Amino acid sequence: MKLNTAKEVWIGRIIAWLILGAISLGIIFATTFIIGPALFVIPNLSDKLAVAMFCPGAESSSVQEGASVPTTSSPSGTHGHTVEVTCYYADGSTTTINNGQYAIAAIGGVFGIGGLIGILISIPLMFSPFILIRKKKIAD
């Protein structure tokens, strides 16, 4: 869109930024809560996120998954499984990531990655008013 004055250009850009800001918030929300949880299907992503968060510098790790156990005292309640990750370092020491830490890393990690995807989609949108809304060139 070509406008006549610099004032018109900046008013148009501000209006465009407000609209794109609302659209970007929707994109970030959608990618965080739709694409993020969909990342759970990637094999070993949760393990890699947990090791990256709680065992930086580990040379290797092993995962032990426990049996499905009730998560409430009710016999008809939900069931869940336990996960324990052991990280091995070059000096021979080990660190264990318990089930709670693993859950925080896995759930927080995939939602965080989903949010980052939304931000990466939204950044180019916020620059588009500079490209699309310009002042008319005066013909000689």
Convert the pLDDT of each residue in 78-102 to its tens digit: 878 889 999 999 999 999 999 999 9
Instruction: Specify the length of the chain in residues.
Output: 140
Confidence class for position 139, pLDDT limits 50, 70, 90: low
Residues 6+ apart with CB under 8 A from 18: none
Q: Nearest-5° angle of CA 133, CA 137, CA 138?
A: 145
pLDDT digits (tens, 9 = 90+) for 30-46: 999 999 999 999 999 99
- Whether residue 97 contacts residue 54, with contact meaning beta carbons closer than 8 Å, is answered with yes
Supply 104's token pair: 């925080």
The C-alpha atoms of residue 135 and residue 138 are separated, in whole angstroms, by: 9
Terminal-residue alpha carbon distance, the chain: 20
pTM: 0.78
